[in-house]
Structures are given as C-alpha cells and as structure tokens.
Amino acid sequence: MSGRLAGRVALVTGAASGNGRAIALRLAREGAAVLCADLQVAPLAGGYDEGPPTHELILREGGRAAFRLCDVTDGDQVQAAVEAAVELGGGLDIAVANAGASPRSHDLVDEPWDQYELVVRVNQHGVWWTCRESVRRMVELGRGGRVIAIASAAGLVGTPTGVDYNTSKGAVVQLVRTLAGQVGRHGITVNAVCPGYVRTAMTRLIWDDADRLERVRATTPLPRLGEPEDVAGACFWLASDDAAWVTGVALPVDGGLTATR
C-alpha cells in the first residue's frame, strides 16, 4: 500500500475489535505494516465488527500485517509482540497502546476488588508495559517514533462511572505526560487519545438501552456519538508528520464532552 505512513511499522494492541481494529486498519490503509496484538484473533462477540480478523482484512486489501497473541499484563508477551513488529517490517515506528478493559461500573463502596485489580492491570499496567517495551526498542533502533496511548475522557474529567476505570485512565494520561518529557531527546513523541462515548462491544449496553443512550447523547455537544473511526483518525494524525512537534498531549476525541464539564 502507498500512503503517508508508507515504510513505517506499527504495533497496535487490542487490535481485534472496536477502536483497536479501526486504528490498525487506518494505519495500514495509510501504508504502515501493522502487527496486530490481542488476546484473540477474531473480533469480540456481541460487538459491531464484521468480517475476517483484522490482520487478514489488511492482507486482503494489499497491506502488510501479522497477528500476535498478546496479554498486555504480561511483560514477556508484550516484548515478544514488539519483536514480532520489528521482524514484520524491519523496525518499529508507531506503537498504539489500545488494549483495555471496561467492565460493569460500580460505586466505590460496592466495587469488587478483583474487578478493580483486573482493570488496573489491563488499563494501567498494560499501557506501561507497551510503552516501556516499545520505547526501549525505538531508542535502540535510533530512528525516533510515535507512541500513542488510548486513555479516555473519563481520565480528564469526573464522571459517575467506575472508580477502577476512571483511575486507570487518569494514570495513562499522567504516564504519557511524564514519558514525553523523558524520551523527547530520542525523537520519540508520546501522546494520549481520550475518547468519549464510542460505539464498540465494550459500550454495547449503552447502545442497547434507548433511555440511557439518550442521556449519554445529551452530554455531547455534537449531534452524534463516536465511532471507532473517529479514534482511528486521531491516532493517524498523531502518527503522521503533521504531528511531528506534538508530544505530551491528552487529546479529547469526544464530541465536546469534556469541554462542557
């Protein structure tokens, strides 16, 4: 494929479904070779993704891609996924730490410890592992890079949802800001994309509840809620040369949700 990312190599975690699938497809359509990492190869059941696994769809469209089984809470598996990306395209230019968990929300007094622990392990520790292993390899390769972490609007403003989820996403925002200051001298940018309400398998309960959906829609100034392609577009921009001097930013992609909080 030709495109603005031709010749670059990307790693996308959580690439099987939702935002991760859309990000991987967009980067590939812009010319990047994409290593798709996830706990499973097929899209999540009950979601909105149709068709073959993400890497197979990229290959059918004439792009370069491969799949690697990866649990982002396991540092060895993340490191192996980074190496698989390097093997796929001869380097690592873009790393998107997208894999996340968003279980049913509870008030803190009712929030189960095992759920809190799982969410923090995936959303916070998983991003930490992905960022650390990707940056280590980018520094070794010596050609700079772009690191993009998927946080959330819930990491920027208070929302009446789960403390586990909001806390983990706030940590991602601070990780990005700190890491940007550490690796800028290596030509590596580090940014976060903070989606609002996006139509994925993780938010299916909202879309299936007409009353709840209307309440959510009322919080968003723009007249529609998000699609995974909105998140993918922001990630592409941050990976492109247009964002070469943008780092340490937590970019809301939320239809104006955080602007009105």
Residues noted as catalytic: 152, 165, 169
Beta bridge partner(s), residue 38: 69
User: In the block, which residue shows the tokens 């772009």?
Assistant: 146
CA distances from 228 to 15, 21, 25, 184 (A): 12, 8, 11, 29
Nearest to 239, CA basis, from 185, 171, 193, 172: 193
Q: Strands, DSSP E only, in the chain?
A: 9-13, 33-38, 65-69, 94-97, 145-150, 188-195, 250-253
- Give the three-state DSSP class for 146: strand
* CA-based R_g, the chain, Å: 17
Contacts of 80 (CB under 8 A, 6+ apart): 68, 70
DSSP strand pairing (250-253 vs 9-13):
unpaired
> Which tokens hold the place of 261?
């909080």
